[in-house]
């Protein structure tokens, strides 16, 4: 086994890979959120943006790369969780014997749960939208009417609630994951840790809240139309 392979399979290497893949996926979420919010502007802009995106021949390469990042992140997260669990089979307490407070939070404690929930949501999301009904824009049969699909899906309150709850879990996952990723990549200093945690929390709220607002908006607008 090469030195690189040993490093990537080590505890430190696993954390670095988790940080790299996590931050890469976070970058995708920012771009995806911007694209989704175009639906608020109107169906023409949203469908035009979507058509340009999915008709680009490079989209298949981008999707393959994104899928590889996602699978690697999930795999490393599960192996890291299993290694930590085997190394310390007893649950952490809020205070240790010396009386020092634990640094664990709700977000960090439930990372594996929110991660699995996010994985299941991605499968549900792809089935609902990417592989969902194929409507076409009237007069433009080559353009998929994703706006119509979006409004139809979120006309169902069950989908709206499920989506919002999923985004709440994603928010928790990002809240700890962003700060943890930056610290794993070397940004770990007592002077900046609180700032990093605060910035991670704000970014998590923006991403999770932004995605959660879309189904609520679609449900309210669809109900008036």
Is the pLDDT at 29 greater than 50? The verdict is yes
Q: What is the pLDDT of residue 187?
A: 76
Instruction: Report residue 141 as tokens.
Output: 């049969």
- Is the pLDDT higher at 131 or at 179? 131
Delineate the domains of the chain, giving CATH numbers in brackets. 3-88+103-224 (1.20.1300.10)
Each residue of 91-108: pLDDT tens digit? 544 444 334 344 566 667
pLDDT digits (tens, 9 = 90+) for 133-173: 999 999 999 999 999 999 999 999 999 999 999 999 999 99
Q: Which residues pair with 136 in a beta bridge?
A: 144
Query: Minimal CA–CA distance to 26: which of 145, 144, 188, 185?
Result: 185
Q: What letter does residue 93 receive in the DSSP assignment?
A: P
Angstrom distance (rounded) from CA 119 to CA 67: 12
Given a cut of 70, is residue 35 above it in pLDDT? yes
Whether the per-residue pLDDT at 59 is higher than 50: the answer is: yes
Question: How many other C-beta atoms are found inside a 10 Å radius of the C-beta of residue 103?
Answer: 8
What does residue 207 show for φ and ψ, rounded to 5 degrees? Answer: -70, -55
State phi, psi for 61 to the nearest 5 degrees: -65, -40
pTM across the whole model:
0.84
- At residue 179 the predicted structure's pLDDT band, cuts being 50, 70 and 90, is confident
């Amino acid at each position: 086994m090469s030195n690189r392979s040993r490093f990537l399979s080590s505890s430190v290497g696993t954390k670095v890979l988790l940080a790299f893949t996590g931050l890469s996926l976070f970058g995708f979420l920012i771009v995806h959120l911007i694209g989704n919010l175009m639906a608020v502007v109107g169906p023409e802009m949203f469908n035009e943006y979507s058509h340009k995106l999915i008709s680009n021949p490079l989209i298949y390469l981008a999707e393959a790369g994104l899928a590889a990042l996602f699978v690697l992140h999930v795999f490393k997260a599960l192996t890291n969780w299993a290694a930590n669990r085997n190394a310390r089979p007893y649950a952490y307490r809020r205070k240790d014997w010396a009386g020092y407070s634990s640094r664990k939070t709700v977000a960090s404690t439930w990372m594996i749960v929110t991660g699995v929930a996010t994985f299941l949501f991605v499968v549900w999301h792809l089935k609902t939208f990417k592989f969902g009904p194929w409507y076409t824009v009237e007069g433009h049969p080559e353009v998929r009417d994703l706006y119509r699909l979006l409004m139809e899906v979120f006309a169902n309150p069950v989908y709206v609630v499920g989506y919002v709850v999923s985004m709440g879990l994603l928010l928790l996952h990002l809240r700890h994951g962003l700060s943890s990723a930056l610290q794993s990549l070397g940004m770990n200093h007592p002077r900046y840790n609180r700032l990093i945690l605060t910035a991670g929390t704000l970014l998590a709220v923006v991403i999770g809240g932004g995605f959660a607002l879309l189904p609520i908006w679609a449900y309210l607008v669809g109900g008036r139309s």
